Amino acid sequence: MADKPARGLADVVAASTALSDIDGHAGRLSYRGYDINELTGNATFEEVSYLLQRGTQPNPAELDGYLAEFAAGRVIGPLAAADLSGIAARQQPMEALRSLVSLASADDPDARSNESAANLRKAARLTAQQPVLIASYQAARTGREPTAPDPGLGTAANFLLQLSGEKPEPRAAEILDACLVLHADHTMNASTFAARVCAATLSDMHSAVVAALGTLKGTLHGGANEQVMLGLEAIRASGGDPLEATGRQVAERLRQGEKIMGFGHRVYKTEDPRAAHLRKMSAELGAATGDDTYYRMSRRMEEVVFAEKGLYPNVDFYAATVYHYLGIPTDLFTPVFSASRMAGWTAHVIEQHADNRLIRPDSEYIGESGLSWVPLGAR
Amino acid sequence: MADKPARGLADVVAASTALSDIDGHAGRLSYRGYDINELTGNATFEEVSYLLQRGTQPNPAELDGYLAEFAAGRVIGPLAAADLSGIAARQQPMEALRSLVSLASADDPDARSNESAANLRKAARLTAQQPVLIASYQAARTGREPTAPDPGLGTAANFLLQLSGEKPEPRAAEILDACLVLHADHTMNASTFAARVCAATLSDMHSAVVAALGTLKGTLHGGANEQVMLGLEAIRASGGDPLEATGRQVAERLRQGEKIMGFGHRVYKTEDPRAAHLRKMSAELGAATGDDTYYRMSRRMEEVVFAEKGLYPNVDFYAATVYHYLGIPTDLFTPVFSASRMAGWTAHVIEQHADNRLIRPDSEYIGESGLSWVPLGAR
């Protein structure tokens, strides 16, 4: 038995993976050996999803086949569809996705098989399905008829199309595609780890990604991007010059020991490479929309937090304004994160099942012992 | 950074807990300092659930209040109820419970709060609700009207009543109650750990127990009790003398290197204390039903596995025949496990939220590096 608990398992190696690698000191992230700085803008989300799930760059024929699987996967099965309006009316987005993906197993012919080929098919299907669930939820809660996907468009463009009902600008789709690439995998983050703990009991892929969705929901994980935007909106709504208000309020909150959402990361000791890409996208989109206030507020916030605490922005920080400028409702930011990370979660389930061992840690007991149970009448 | 991965986190201390403690060498399990040998037969499931969730033995007034919370919790909310017939027709029991508990958050007024008081209320509600979901699923898939709970009965008796539509024998309810006590918590087992990984992102209790349900589903975890029964049924159905067939087939499978479900445990190095209680219950119920063949087959299997491999039966082994003799359908064995473990899962979420730190382990990268992305046209 180990003696001391590693609180939060920080620096404890829980599993081996060939999917992604972080060099926290150099600020590098790679997927299967390809640096994300090279992938971003050069590889589509579908190519990256294929790379993660199937292990190599797809050749043109392989990519065609994979895109056809995605196109076929852009549907909501009857069980989830039957419940969509009730769920959209009663559950918040991440609660709704947890329910909808759980229901979706009923309409996946491979749901009950952990065989390698079944897992590959499910991984593509779940990754194709996730943005459709999000957009359909949005349509349902706003009382709009769902928009059919366009078979000529990729995942990012289809998502923007189905979300708003209008075909997106090509550049907007390109930027969202790059965001999906940037969020696709990130070693043993909490939601991915939850998926692997689940899969390691030889449970199935739907159960594992439902566990991951519930885990991503937390504000210390995927929920952070929404919190960043809510923070920016609150500062702007407080009146006065937004940049001055940003500097003043953030400094004040840091003095009071408050945590500023979107800064710092357990693994990166320098700038998160994803943040650098997202910052550029935020600047470009802010300029294009003609109101880059939120971008400039973010820059100011970044300066103050770095000056006071030496902390760098993480992936959630500039993702917030990018999604905002893309017209995505704030409470769908974490769902968009899930649409990307589904590629990685499913790849981790495939990897876990391919060389499985139950993940069952130990615990340190800190309670009382040797107590005697007193009968009810004598209490 | 740690150097070597602890495969499956065996012996790695992932968290501190005051909820349960195992002495794997002595074969002892205790809940908050009370040995389960003392609790079994002396404490009801509700008292044990209170102990786990609220920290102490309830006095009579506290127990009355808690039982009233349970009675009020024996309902299915409108969102889950609306979907029950479709789910019962299309999803297997553990898939269905994953969906139903996810949907149930819509009808829990505390679903979105992680405050201590809200967590305590949700823990009681989820624990009261779980057997009702299972029984209602069974009624729905067999086309029977749901049976209303009896406010004069406890959790175990109400479950048997709602499951079959008939009031159970008092001794059957007593034995099921003791089974629920025995399965209520077990330190950092995989499903409990999944719940804590989820809760540690500051996600909510419903998300955490949905993650736990998906994790329990696996055949290396809660799914094992069902596999044990299916194994016994297959041997009996193969014809000949069931005891002779058991001895022969098990020995043959061991010779071929197969794993026999229901034996061995990562933590216990001697007999699992829960198995000793369940063995007695199985013997009693077998005798009472007038056909103790499955019990005697289990004994024979135990002898052969111990003689050949030195392995002891774990909690799942005799739980299988006990549940069978209680008239519970085989594919509801793992759900019954979940009805008990819900008490522990929710207590672990309360404990995690009370002193939280994100659970985010490290991973060892074993893939390639420094690859260059080849454009599609050049592949």
Distance between CA atoms of A199 and A211, rounded to whole angstroms?
10
Cβ–Cβ gap A214/B198 under 8 Å = yes
* The model scores a pTM over 0.90: yes
Residue B365 lies in a domain: no
In a shared domain, residues B88 and B131: yes
Is B221 a catalytic site residue? yes
Please tell me whether residues B277 and B340 are part of one structural domain. no
In this structure, the answer to whether residues A144 and A238 fall within a common structural domain is: no
| Pair of tokens at residue A17 | 């993976």
Burial state string for B88-122 with b = 16 or more CB within 10 A and e = fewer than 16:
bebbbbbbbbbbbbbbbbbbbebbeebeeebbbbb
Q: Are residues A186 and A68 in the same domain?
A: yes
Q: Please state, in angstroms and rounded to a whole number, the distance separating the CA atoms of residues A317 and A326.
A: 15
pLDDT digits (tens, 9 = 90+) for B138-189: 999 999 999 999 999 999 999 999 999 999 999 999 999 999 999 999 999 9
Q: Is the pLDDT of residue A371 over 90?
A: yes
Active-site residue, from B316, B324, B348, B353: B316
**Domain co-membership, A58 together with A154:** yes
Using CA atoms of B40, B41, B47, B49 in order, give the dihedral in degrees to the nearest 10: 40
Residue A7 has pLDDT above 90, yes or no: no
Do residues A50 and A156 both lie within one domain? yes
Question: A290: left (phi > 0), else alpha (psi -120 to 50), else beta?
Answer: left
* End-to-end alpha carbon distance in chain B: 37
- CB–CB contact B371 A34 (8 Å): yes
Contact assessment for residue B350 and residue B310, using Cβ atoms and an 8 Å cutoff: no
pLDDT for position A11: 82
Q: Catalytic annotation on B316?
A: yes
Question: Among B183, B186, B265, B353, which one carries the catalytic annotation?
Answer: B265
Q: What is the mean pLDDT of residues A235-264?
A: 95
Tell me whether residue A362 is in a domain.
Answer: no
* Residue in the structure block whose two tokens are 């490479």: A273
CA distances from A80 to A150, A163, B104, B208 (A): 21, 18, 15, 21
Pairing of strands A34-35, A362-365: unpaired
Tokens standing for residue A161: 């199309």
Cβ atoms of B278 and B29 within 8 Å: the answer is: no
Same domain, B37 and B155: yes
Identify whether A73 is part of a domain: yes
Nearest-angstrom CA–CA distance, A272 and A311:
11
Predicted confidence band at A8 (pLDDT cuts at 50, 70, 90)?
A: confident
**Residue of A365, A366, A368, A372 best to disrupt the B interface, most CBs of B under 10 A:** A365
Q: Residue A1 to residues A357, A362, A364, B47: CA-CA distances in angstroms?
A: 18, 8, 10, 31
A1 and B11 within 8 Å at the Cβ level: the answer is: yes
Closest CA to B378 of A58, A152, A65: A58
What is the count of residue pairs from A and B with beta carbons less than 8 Å apart?
A: 383
Q: In this structure, what DSSP letter does residue A214 have?
A: H
Give me the pLDDT at residue B7, please: 76
CATH number for the domain that contains residue B64: 1.10.580.10
For residue A1, is pLDDT > 90?
A: no
| Per-residue tokens: B111 | 């679903």
Q: How confident is the model at residue A5 (pLDDT cuts 50, 70, 90)?
A: low
Judge if B92 and B210 occupy the same domain.
Answer: yes
Q: What is the CATH number of the domain that holds A278?
A: 1.10.230.10
pLDDT digits (tens, 9 = 90+) for A267-306: 898 999 999 999 999 999 999 999 999 999 999 999 999 9
Of A13, A43, A200, the CB nearest to B6: A13
The amino acid at A301: M
- One DSSP character per residue, A237-296 reads HT-S-HHHHHHHHHHHHHHTTPPPTTB--SS-SS--HHHHHHHHHHHHHHHHHT--HHHH
The mean of the pLDDT values for chain A is 96
Edge-to-edge strand list for the sheet holding B20-23: B20-23, B28-31, B34-35
3-class secondary structure, A215: helix
Instruction: Please indicate, yes or no, if residue A117 is contained in any of the structural domains.
Output: yes
Domain count, chain B: 2
Reading chain B (379 residues) residue by residue, the pLDDT tens digits are 445 656 788 888 889 999 999 999 999 999 999 999 999 999 999 999 999 999 999 999 999 999 999 999 999 999 999 999 999 999 999 999 999 999 999 999 999 999 999 999 999 999 999 999 999 999 999 999 999 999 999 999 999 999 999 999 999 999 999 999 999 999 999 999 999 999 999 999 999 999 999 999 999 999 899 999 999 999 999 999 999 999 999 999 999 999 999 998 888 989 999 999 999 999 999 999 999 999 999 999 999 999 999 999 999 999 999 999 999 999 999 999 999 999 999 999 999 999 999 999 999 999 999 999 999 999 8
pLDDT grade, residue A4 (50/70/90)?
low
| Interval A314-348: pLDDT, tens | 999 999 999 999 999 999 999 999 999 999 999 99
Give the separation between CA B15 and CA B12, rounded to whole angstroms: 9
Contact B374 A14 (CB under 8 A): no
φ/ψ of A58, rounded to 5, equals: -75, 140
- By DSSP bridging, strand B13-17 and strand A362-365 are parallel
B192 and B277: one domain? no
In three-state secondary structure terms, A74 is coil
Partners of B87 on chain A (C-beta within 8 Å) are: 79, 103, 106
Q: Based on the domain organization, do B156 and B252 belong to the same domain?
A: no
Selecting from A6, A32, A98 the residue whose C-beta is nearest the C-beta of B207 gives A98
Are residues A73 and A123 both part of a single domain? Answer: yes
Q: Quick one: B347 and B321 in the same domain?
A: no
pLDDT digits (tens, 9 = 90+) for A186-226: 999 999 999 999 999 999 999 999 999 999 999 999 989 99
CA distance B301 to B285: 18
What is the rounded distance in angstroms from the CA atom of residue A29 to the CA atom of residue A255? 32
Q: Which residue has the tokens 């060389």?
A: A355
d(CA B215, CA A208): 7
To test the contact with chain A by mutation, choose from B84, B203, B205, B357 the residue with the greatest count of A C-beta atoms within 10 A, namely: B203
Q: Which domain holds residue A340?
A: 32-168+181-216+335-354
Residue B59, burial from CB neighbour count under 10 angstroms (0-12, 13-18, 19+): exposed
Q: What is the pLDDT of residue B195?
A: 98
Indicate whether B82 belongs to any domain: yes
> In angstroms, rounded to a whole number, what is the distance separating the alpha carbons of residues B42 and B20?
18
Q: How far apart are the first and last CA of chain A?
A: 37
Bridge-based pairing state of the strands B34-35 and B362-365? unpaired
- Active-site positions of A read 221, 265, 316
> Is position B297 within any domain?
yes
Q: Please state, in angstroms and as integers, the Cα–Cα distance from residue B193 to each residue in A362, B16, B349, following that order.
A: 10, 12, 10
B300-327: b (≥16 Cβ within 10 Å) or e? bbbebbeeeeebbbbbbbbbbbbbbbbe
3-class secondary structure per residue, B196-231 = HHHHCCCCCHHHHHHHHHHHHCCCCCCCHHHHHHHH
Q: Does residue B174 fall inside a structural domain?
A: no
For position A148, what pLDDT does the model report?
A: 97
Q: Cβ separation of A14 and B9 shorter than 8 Å?
A: yes
Q: A61 lies in a domain?
A: yes
Cα angle A62, A148, A166 (rounded to 5 degrees) comes to 105
Burial class for A165, CB neighbours closer than 10 Å (0-12, 13-18, 19+): middle
Tally Cβ neighbours within 10 Å of residue A161.
19
Taking only Cα atoms into account, the Rg of chain B, rounded to an integer number of angstroms, comes to 22
Which of B1, B3, B9, B37 should we substitute to test contact with A (largest number of A Cβ atoms within 10 Å)? B9
